[in-house]
Amino acid sequence: MVSEERWVLGLGEVLWDCFPGRELPGGAPANFAFHAAQLGCHAAVLSRVGHDERGEELLALLQAGGVVTDWIQCDEEHATGTVEVDTSRPDQPRFVIRPEAAWDYLEWTPQWQEVAGKAAAVCFGTLAQRSSRSRDTLRQLLSSVPASSLTVYDVNLRQDFYDRATIDASLRRSRAVKLNEGEEATLTQLLELGPCYPREFAARLQFRYGVQAVCITRGGNGCLVIEGNDMADEPGLPVQVVDTVGAGDAFTAAWVFARFHGWPLRKQAQFANRVGALVASRAGAMPHLQNEYRALVNEFAT
């Protein structure tokens, strides 16, 4: 288990998910950090909000969930990010991400350099790299974490905010990769990996980029986790889906938590499945589930 002197960091966008008639906090790295904190990790978000009411409210909501916000920057010129979310199909939400958000202007600072040196794990994605400024800052931080840190690339492709060069560079900076089936198909084509089944896909990422572990999520059909020659193919769980926004990020946080505990691969996959299903059964990306998580950890720890 990670000590309290070591940090679990969500690096990238923090924003408001704008559903019809309501707004809820979101952003994949922020969701990840929120669920890591709910699970008991010493978690923080490294991002940027505007000098506005939305930014202040986001900070307050993250803090209420146990997330440290000391390294979230405040932008005087650009507004806190927002995303329009369409959940007319609860299992396949659609996103429209507005441009020129505060998180497009992440700055490398001495404070970020200091916390990078204390990182036990860093989870980052593709979307926060849509601007050159944030992309350069993100890469500088990843280059500054200890060699022992678990760098997790949650591919998380959105709209057209990705390209081969960004994905290629991100994979080279990763020890673990999480993606869904649709992203697996996109990467297979974009990276010219050739026709392959999931296990071959993982092996090619491991060979080409030095990635240690690959996790492919399959929604209601569970997940496939591959590390070296070990594989866990776990079925999905029956759940009444409210919306799946944030469920994948909670899954990633649970996977990291389970790895820190040294649980075998199958147990990691089962635990992450359970956490992801819990979040899918609630509204929004950041439901408060500390009690449920505590019970679940006790169940898996026995």
Q: How many domains does the chain have?
A: 1
Pairing of strands 73-75, 7-11: unpaired
CATH number where 147 lies: 3.40.1190.20
Rounded to whole angstroms, the Cα distance separating 74 from 264 reads 41
Alpha-carbon distance of 208 to 196, in angstroms, equals: 15
Distance CA 280, CA 245 (A): 7
| pLDDT for the residue 2 | 45
Task: Give the pLDDT of the chain (302 residues) as one tens digit per residue.
Answer: 444 568 999 999 999 988 888 888 999 999 999 999 999 999 999 999 999 999 999 999 999 999 999 999 999 999 999 988 876 676 677 778 988 999 999 999 999 999 999 999 999 999 999 999 999 999 999 999 999 999 999 999 998 999 999 999 999 999 999 999 999 999 999 999 988 888 899 999 999 999 999 999 988 888 999 998 899 999 988 888 887 888 999 999 999 999 999 999 999 999 999 999 999 999 888 999 999 999 999 999 88
Give the whole-angstrom CA distance, residue 109 versus residue 133: 13
Cα dist from 274 to 67, 77, 207, 277, whole Å: 22, 41, 30, 5
What is residue 194's predicted lDDT score, i.e. its pLDDT? 86
Q: What is the pLDDT of residue 91?
A: 65
Question: Quick check: is 2 in a domain?
Answer: no
Q: What is the pLDDT of residue 245?
A: 81
Residue 273's pLDDT is 94
Nearest 5°: phi and psi at 113? -65, -40
- For residues 263 and 255, give the distance between their C-alpha atoms in angstroms, rounded to a whole number: 10
* Owning domain of residue 191: 7-296
Got the DSSP string for 130-187?
Answer: SSHHHHHHHHHHHTTS-TTSEEEEE----TT---HHHHHHHHHT-SEEEEEHHHHHHH
